[in-house]
Amino acid sequence: MTNHWIDIGNSDCVLMMGSNPAENHPVSFRWVMKAKDNGGTLIHVDPRYTRTSTKADIYAPLRPGTDIAFLGGMIKYIIENKKYFLDYVTNYTNGSYIVGEKYSFKDGLFSGFNAEKRAYDATTWAYEMDEKGVPKKDLSLQDPRCVFQIMKDHYSRYDLETVSSITGTPKDDLLKVYQAYSATGVPDKAGTIMYAMGWCQHSVGVQNIRTMSIIQAMLGNMGIAGGGVNAMRGESNVQGSTDAGLLFHILPGYNPTPTAALATLADYNKKNTPSAKDPLSANWWQNRPKYMVSMLKAFYGDAAKPENDFGYSWLPKPDEGKPYSWLDLFDAMYKKQIKGFFAWGMNPACSGANSNKTRESLSNLDWMVNVNVFDNETASFWKGPGMKPEKIKTEVFFLPCAMFLEKEGSISNSGRWAQWRYKAQEPVGECKPDGDIVYELFVHIRDLYKKDKKAKFADPILNLKWDYATDKKFDPHLVAKTINGYWTQDTTVGDKTYKKGEQVGAFAMLKDDGSTACGNWIYCQSYNQDGNNMARRDKSDPSGIGLYPKWSWAWPVNRRIIYNRASVDPTGKPWNPKRALVEYVAEVKDGKYMPGGTWKGDVPDGPWPPLKNPDGSAREDGKLAFIMKSDGYASLFGPGLKDGPLPEHYEPIECPVKKHPFGAQLNNPVAVMFKTDKDIINSCDPRFPYIGTTYRVTEHWQTGVLTRYVPWLLEAEPQVFVEMSEQLAALRGISNGEKVIVESPRGSLEAVAMVTKRLKPFTIQGDEVHMVGLPWHFGWLYPKDGGESANLLTPAVGDPNTRIPESKAFMVNVRKKGA
């Protein structure tokens, strides 16, 4: 999240789209209702009418996979009705940039598309630069090739009629939403978006979110209290695990994984360290070399030296452009290319799209290690339905792990708060905390490599710093301190000397010469010389807007709302003094700020003075608002993505639509797809005439491994169900409560029919289109009559930028059992 949970309560208009917070992040609704109690408007846009909808002032139905059409219409509305916050757009976004002449968009494709490679060459999306290498601008926003005008032209096709026809949302509802939300485009109103997997799990997932980011930037809602773009993440520590780089493409702290062509650290730094030609841009990622070297020092300790590039060559390198993400991993496993597998605190047999492909691929492994609190469909895959154990050679090691209250450590919530938690009881039976298991396993592995002098490339294994035990037991405090960072030698900075081994105060102090070690630069300050800041429980809130700056610790540097430089005008005064987030305070003389000024409020996005003096004159030492962008501006036009610089509506890969409303390109031309016999896609196929979607219920969580075994929860939600409209039930002769079969081109499962008024058929391009939805919390292992995983239905196709599967929109059939 750019903001945080409590901040939702500061909003004047809460849009909940691609999400169902009342049911899936229930306690967040405490803050949604606070916004409503304070006079704010709640909007819920969703294919189903849910508990979130019951509290919304405006509910608008939407066909799964048409969010860009819906929001594109909102962009058109905002531009035509001049609802954008003009000063914010010209000062803080790239709306004024001039786009190069090579850029074009025609018939659903952007310029630079290579059909053979199924990829775009993004060089035609480049800006027109001035002689200094800074993009040319038209601050009047009139130039036909400025971003603002290009956007206006692009979304001119998203008129109410067309949008309504493709989304299934009645025109009145569209207008209601557009009017209510765009009213936040004024300095004293804040609008926020709460989204979740309803946006991510699509072949246009990133562009879904981009469309909303454009709207937020146009309305001046980024960086302010009650605004922002708020991703509601799904697991207690998925934020932390992402921050730690447990993904193929990033190292801890979001440094990109080095690729094969980058032979040395210098090559890596050259490729991945952005430079900024505009002196007003803070371009914070210019500090990347410091974070990389500090991380390498944390990995390899004294073995990381300037002479050996700090151990850079010990990091494994993917080939340029070759992905190793989830869908690729299981595709490789299906093709017998993977021999050993760790499913650590995960249940891929039920959680990954196209579960039949996943389950079969597990039987291709030589060995698998499964670490979990309960038995699950992945650990026991070999005795699952349709499996013949006598033919499956996969060895499986099941390691019982402790649950969360049986160990000590920190987790990071969606609002970037890293909260320390404590041990309330010893792990039961022979369970061990995951940290102990990782620690001890690596000791075993390393011992084998120590003994085998002829082993292959043992250096990174033998040199990995691994002294994270106290009294021979894994000690999370030692790791937390490493993640924060420490001085590797006595160092004098200014008039202060830091001793070797002392914790580093904050990431501004990290160095690229090996004198600092830091496991994850964004967590630098979390556990520093002041102590374990993540364990703080001070409830004071001097801000009055719910920042709680001394409750736990938020990254980066305890900044609670990021991009807060955009919450003030260029002279550093809040756009909305009644809900001030930060404010620049300095002595003023002759209309100019004097030296010695400071920022009050939240931790500012950098200590530099604002862009202008009170008299409006420009300051050379000011910095632009969006400090992590190399140019310093929020991107309305975004040339860095794989599928285009502007979001465009494309149909889900498996869809009920034959003809795209705008042009020839029906689906995302660069979406991720696979070609095995298990990867079948059937669009507009009469055998699978209904849209299928998946979602969650309050009482269960993810694949249900941690909820199906909890009697109180299972009693409330005992089995998988399929929700359908009364109209569809009548069409298929299905009664509420009867067992039906739901099938897709990839798999099928039995479910209890839940016939409801809360789902209604959509009218799409004049045709009636039905939808059904299922929760995906169940699996064959337990309980006996609980039902199977809805992921047996979903397709392994994905977004081209994130490669997240399209689990929210595919095609199915529903029929009475026995029919």
| 542-571: contacts with other proteins (CB under 8 A) | 546, 548, 551
Least CB distance from residue 330 to other proteins, whole Å?
Answer: 9
What is the C-alpha to C-alpha distance for residues 177 and 406, in angstroms, rounded to an integer? 46
* Under 8 Å between Cβ of 703 and 789: yes
Residue 729 binds other proteins, judged by CB under 8 A: no
Nearer to other proteins, 233 or 760 (CB): 233
- Residue span binding other proteins (CB under 8 A) among the ranges 214-222, 240-248, 608-616, 745-753: 240-248
Shortest Å distance, C-beta 232 to other proteins: 7
**Cα distance from N-terminal residue to C-terminal residue, the chain:** 47
- Indicate whether 467 belongs to the interface with other proteins (CB under 8 A): no
User: Could you tell me how many helices (H) and strands (E) the chain has, helices first?
Assistant: 21, 37
d(CA 226, CA 235): 23
Is residue 115 close enough to count as binding other proteins by CB under 8 A? Answer: no
| Nearest in space to 345 (alpha carbons), one of 199, 503, 235 | 235
Cross-strand pairs, 512: none
**Closest separation in Å from C-beta 350 to other proteins:** 11
Smallest separation (angstroms) from other proteins to the CB of 235? 4
Look up residue 187 and give its two tokens: 């300095």
Verify binding: residue 440, other proteins, rule CB under 8 A. Answer: yes
Pick one of 367, 529, 542, 600: the residue that binds other proteins (CB under 8 A). Answer: 367
User: Minimum Å distance from CB 306 to other proteins?
Assistant: 19
Q: Which of residues 250-269 bind other proteins (CB under 8 A)?
A: 251-252, 257, 260-261, 263
**Could you give the C-alpha distances from 617 to 92, 149, 175, 614, in angstroms and in order?**
17, 28, 41, 7
Cα distance between residue 51 and residue 58, in whole Å: 13
Residue 219: CB atoms within 10 A of its CB come to 26
Instruction: Please select the residue that binds other proteins; options are 27, 386, 453, 620, rule is CB under 8 A.
Output: 27
Among residues 92 and 330, whose Cβ is nearest to other proteins?
330
| Smaller CB separation from other proteins, 7 or 631 | 7
- Candidate residues 461, 585, 628, 680; the one interacting with other proteins per rule CB under 8 A: 461
Say whether 33 sits in a helix, a strand or coil. Answer: helix
- SS3 label, residue 785: coil
334 interacts with other proteins by CB under 8 A: no
Q: Name the strands in the sheet holding 58-60, side by side, starting at the edge strand that comes first in the sequence.
A: 58-60, 41-45, 13-17, 191-195, 229-231
Using CB under 8 A as the criterion, what x/- string covers residues 704-723 for binding other proteins?
Answer: --xx-xxxxx--x-------
Q: How far is the CB of 310 from other proteins (least distance, A)?
A: 14
Residue choice 390, 467, 471, 620 for contact with other proteins (CB under 8 A): 390
Closer to other proteins by Cβ: residue 448 or 594: 448
How many Å apart are CA 816 and CA 741, to the nearest integer?
6
Does residue 818 belong to the site contacting other proteins (CB under 8 A)? Answer: no
Single out the residue of 268, 326, 507, 626 in contact with other proteins (rule: CB under 8 A).
326
Rg (CA), the chain: 27
Smallest separation (angstroms) from other proteins to the CB of 241: 5
CA 401 from chain centre, in angstroms, equals 27
Q: Which of 160, 438, 506, 752 binds other proteins (CB under 8 A)?
A: 438
Q: How far is the CB of 460 from other proteins (least distance, A)?
A: 5
Is there binding between residue 33 and other proteins (CB under 8 A)? Answer: no
- Cα–Cα distance measured from residue 204 to residue 211, given in angstroms and rounded to the nearest whole number: 11
Site string for other proteins, 775-804 (x = CB under 8 A): -------x-------------------xxx
Is 291:314 a contact under the CB 8 Å cutoff? no
754 binds other proteins, rule: CB under 8 A: no
Residue where the block lists tokens 């001039």: 98
- When binding is defined by CB under 8 A, the residue of 400, 514, 597, 718 that contacts other proteins is 400
Task: Give how far the C-alpha of residue 800 lies from the chain's centroid of Cα atoms, to the nearest Å.
Answer: 14
By the rule CB under 8 A, 505 interacts with other proteins: no
Binding status of residue 506 toward other proteins by CB under 8 A = no
DSSP single-letter state for residue 488: S
Distance CA 388, CA 383 (A): 7
| Residue number, 314 or 674, with CB nearest to other proteins | 314
User: Tokens 């491994």, residue?
Assistant: 705
Over 505-523, what HEC string results? CCHHHCCCCCCEECCCHHH
Instruction: Please report, as residue ranges, which positions from 470 to 499 form the binding site for other proteins (by CB under 8 A).
Output: 476, 479-480, 482-483
Regarding 24 and contact with other proteins (CB under 8 A), the answer is yes
DSSP structural state of residue 348: H
The smaller minimum CB distance to other proteins, of residues 147 and 402, is found at: 402
Nearer to other proteins, 285 or 553 (CB): 553
Residue selected from 574, 669, 747, 805 as contacting other proteins according to rule CB under 8 A: 805
Q: How far is the CB of 394 from other proteins (least distance, A)?
A: 7
**CA 169/CA 173 separation, integer angstroms:** 7
Beta strand extents in 525-651 (DSSP E only): 527-528, 531-532, 553-554, 582-585, 588-589, 592-593, 598-601
Q: Decide whether 407 or 760 has the Cβ nearer to other proteins.
A: 407
Per CB under 8 A, contacts with other proteins among 205-234 are: 232-234
- What is the 8-class DSSP label of residue 430? T
Nearer to other proteins, 26 or 607 (CB): 26
Stretch that binds other proteins, among 156-164, 221-229, 408-416, 505-513 (CB under 8 A): 408-416
588-596 own/partner pairs: CB under 8 Å, 24+ apart: 588/613, 588/614, 590/615, 591/615, 591/617, 592/617, 593/619
In the list 246, 493, 618, 819, the residue contacting other proteins (rule: CB under 8 A) is: 246
Q: Which residues contact 439 (CB under 8 A, 6 or more apart)?
A: 466, 468, 469, 474
| Cβ–Cβ < 8 Å for 594, 585 | no
Among 19, 192, 283, 419, binds other proteins (CB under 8 A): 419
Please state the closest distance from residue 246 (CB atom) to other proteins, in A. 5
Q: Which of 57, 375, 513, 750 binds other proteins (CB under 8 A)?
A: 375
Among 351, 613, 683, 789, binds other proteins (CB under 8 A): 351
54 binds other proteins (CB under 8 A): no
Question: Considering beta carbons, is residue 105 or 248 the nearer one to other proteins?
Answer: 248
By DSSP bridging, strand 469-470 and strand 473-474 are: antiparallel
Whether the Cβ atoms of residue 777 and residue 703 lie closer than 8 Å to each other? yes
528 makes contact with other proteins (CB under 8 A)? no
Q: Is the peptide bond before 783 cis (omega within 30 degrees of 0)?
A: yes
Instruction: Give yes or no for residue 331 binding other proteins (CB under 8 A).
Output: no
- Pick between residue 286 and residue 801 the one whose CB is nearest to other proteins: 801
Whether residue 761 is preceded by a cis peptide bond, meaning omega within 30 degrees of 0, is: no
Q: Which of residues 292-321 bind other proteins (CB under 8 A)?
A: 299, 313-319
**Nearest distance, CB of residue 426 and other proteins, angstroms:** 6
CB 777 within 8 A of CB 700: yes
Count the residues of the shown chain that bind other proteins, applying the rule CB under 8 A.
Answer: 164
| The only residue of 65, 415, 505, 761 in contact with other proteins, by rule CB under 8 A | 415
In single-letter form, the type of residue at position 303 comes to A
Q: Which stretch binds other proteins (CB under 8 A): 361-369, 589-597, 644-652, 667-675?
A: 361-369
What 3 state SS string does 184-196 have? Answer: CCCCCCCEEEEEC
Q: Is 18 in the site for other proteins (CB under 8 A)?
A: no
Using alpha carbons, select from 28, 54, 42, 94 the residue that is nearest to residue 630. 94
With contacts defined by CB under 8 A, name the span among 96-104, 116-124, 284-292, 372-380 that binds other proteins. 372-380
Closest CA to 243 of 510, 524, 435, 486: 524
